[in-house]
């Protein structure tokens, strides 16, 4: 196996919760050596998120495994002179420094880019904020549910229709895309440093990532368009771009763009060959009375057959028809070879989707690092090696 692309890079993860640390996780998945810095005592507050009311609690800190795998931990009091001295030593040997501290906190702790740039010109400083660093909201804190989800307009635009209540976000659904944006900035800065020898500062923020996700409608509004209210499912303008419920209760979504080419194979798969030439089921730019209704022929047909019984005529399987899967819900299934729950020590952390990663196992029972008698971590200046208790990972069958 070839060496990971970021092998040899040293990263200081001086961030908390999800978006900032997850960017460092992607670097770790590609071979970088990442040192996670946490305050002594309870550590990163994200460690206890899975114990809060409403969160799934299997007895394993799955949230921490997902964003803190393949990292080494260090408890460090950045307010104390001794802690500051250790941080300086680490940063002097690091390639990348990641933080999401609020801007006033960075100023007090002297962890701003300006505090490092002159001394460490090759350092890449990765900054994560809620609303950006300029303007009246630069000092404000926020979570993805407020900055990414609500402020970007996504909370309103994803409603089932204009009469429905605004939709709630899933935990972390805005943090992880924002982490990918920050990682992209870090990768670009590494490329520039390879060419010029100079480091620099890269920035990402939650609201910007949310606006990028909502770009289709935001750009339309900037161009002067009036965004129409979202119609109810029954009043959607095209029956071939809508949701339907199958006979077993699961929901399907159909997305047919090239109707002239895709409608006949789709109708055949659904057993609706007699409707292939039916004009009302084709997209029509005319008035609403000429448009097909989702509760018409396809809807009635799908309600009487389970999704697994859809045919694939002539071996063609590229129909854009996908079931809405409830695979994250607790569904009672008899234990079997395909559905047996893994033992706790075999549960894997989630890989970063979309990137070819070498998957490594996470920590079985992650605990916060804490300073104390016989358990304080130390730094080896020669190699930034953390001594003492730390989060563990498994690579090639050997614990490291």
Unique residue bearing structure tokens 């996670």: 36
Architecture of domain 10-213+345-399: 3-Layer(aba) Sandwich (3.40)
Q: In the chain, where are the structural domains located?
A: 10-213+345-399, 233-245+251-324
pLDDT of residue 257: 85
Q: Which residues have C-beta within 8 Å of that of residue 44, sequence separation ≥ 6?
A: 16, 17, 21, 36, 38, 64, 68, 368
Q: Which residues have C-beta within 8 Å of that of residue 36, sequence separation ≥ 6?
A: 13, 21, 24, 44, 68, 71, 72, 73, 74, 391
Q: 3-class DSSP state for residue 168?
A: coil
Neighbours of 299 (CB within 10 A): 18
Partnered with residue 361 across adjacent β-strands are 394
pLDDT of residue 339: 42
Burial of 224: CB neighbours in 10 Å, binned 0-12, 13-18, 19+: exposed
pLDDT of residue 270: 82
Active site residues: 175
Q: Token pair of 231, please?
A: 């119609």
Q: Which residues of the chain carry a pLDDT beneath 70?
A: 1, 279-400
Distance in angstroms (rounded) separating the CA atoms of residues 99 and 204: 11
Q: Token pair of 276, please?
A: 């292939």
Nearest Cα to 36, choosing from 392, 334, 396?
Answer: 392
Distance in angstroms (rounded) separating the CA atoms of residues 46 and 64: 7
The pLDDT tens digits for 339-365 are: 444 443 333 333 333 333 333 333 334
Nearest Cα to 65, choosing from 384, 360, 389, 369?
Answer: 360
On whether the CB atoms of residues 320 and 253 are closer than 8 A, the answer is: no
pLDDT of residue 337: 44
pLDDT of residue 322: 54
Q: Token pair of 59, please?
A: 């007895």
What's the distance, Cα to Cα, between the start and end of the chain in Å?
A: 18
pLDDT of residue 338: 44
Nearest Cα to 65, choosing from 396, 392, 355, 395?
Answer: 392
pLDDT of residue 277: 80
pTM reported for the whole predicted model: 0.75
Q: What is the dihedral of CA 77, 14, 133, 202, to 10 degrees?
A: 150
């Amino acid at each position: 196996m070839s060496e990971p692309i970021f092998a040899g890079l040293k990263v200081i993860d001086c961030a908390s919760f999800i978006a900032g640390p997850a960017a460092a996780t992607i670097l770790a998945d590609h071979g970088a050596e990442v040192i996670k810095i946490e305050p002594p005592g309870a550590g990163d507050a994200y460690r206890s998120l899975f114990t809060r009311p409403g969160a799934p609690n299997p007895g394993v800190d799955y949230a921490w495994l997902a964003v803190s795998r393949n990292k080494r931990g260090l408890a460090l009091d950045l307010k104390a002179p001794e802690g500051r001295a250790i941080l300086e030593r680490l940063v002097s040997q690091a390639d990348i420094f990641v933080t999401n501290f609020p801007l006033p906190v960075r100023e007090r702790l002297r962890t701003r880019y300006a505090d490092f740039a002159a001394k460490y010109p090759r350092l890449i400083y990765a900054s994560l904020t809620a609303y950006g660093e300029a303007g009246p909201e630069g000092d404000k804190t926020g979570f993805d549910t407020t900055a990414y989800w609500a402020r970007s307009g996504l909370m309103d635009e994803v409603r089932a229709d204009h009469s429905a209540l605004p939709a709630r976000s899933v935990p972390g659904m805005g943090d992880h895309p924002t982490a990918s944006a920050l990682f992209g900035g870090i990768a670009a800065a590494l490329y520039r440093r390879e060419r010029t020898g100079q480091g620099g500062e890269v920035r990402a923020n939650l609201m910007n990532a949310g606006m990028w996700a909502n770009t289709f409608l935001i750009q339309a509004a900037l161009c002067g368009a009036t965004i129409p209210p979202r119609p109810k499912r029954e009043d959607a303008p095209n029956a071939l771009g809508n949701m339907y419920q199958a006979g077993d209760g699961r929901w399907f979504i159909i997305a047919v763009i090239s109707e002239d080419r895709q409608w006949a194979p789709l109708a055949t798969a659904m057993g609706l060959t007699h409707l292939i030439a039916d004009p009302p089921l084709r997209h029509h730019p005319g008035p609403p009375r000429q448009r097909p209704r989702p509760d018409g022929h396809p809807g009635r047909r799908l309600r009487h057959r389970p999704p697994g019984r859809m045919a694939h005529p002539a071996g063609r399987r590229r129909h854009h028809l996908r079931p809405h899967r409830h695979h994250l819900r607790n569904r009672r299934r008899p234990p079997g070879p395909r559905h047996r729950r893994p033992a706790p020590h075999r549960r894997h952390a989630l890989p970063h989707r979309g990137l070819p990663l070498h998957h490594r196992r996470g920590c079985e029972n992650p605990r916060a690092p804490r300073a104390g008698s016989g358990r304080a971590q130390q730094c080896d200046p020669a190699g930034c090696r953390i001594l003492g208790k730390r989060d563990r990972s498994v690579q090639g069958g050997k614990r490291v």
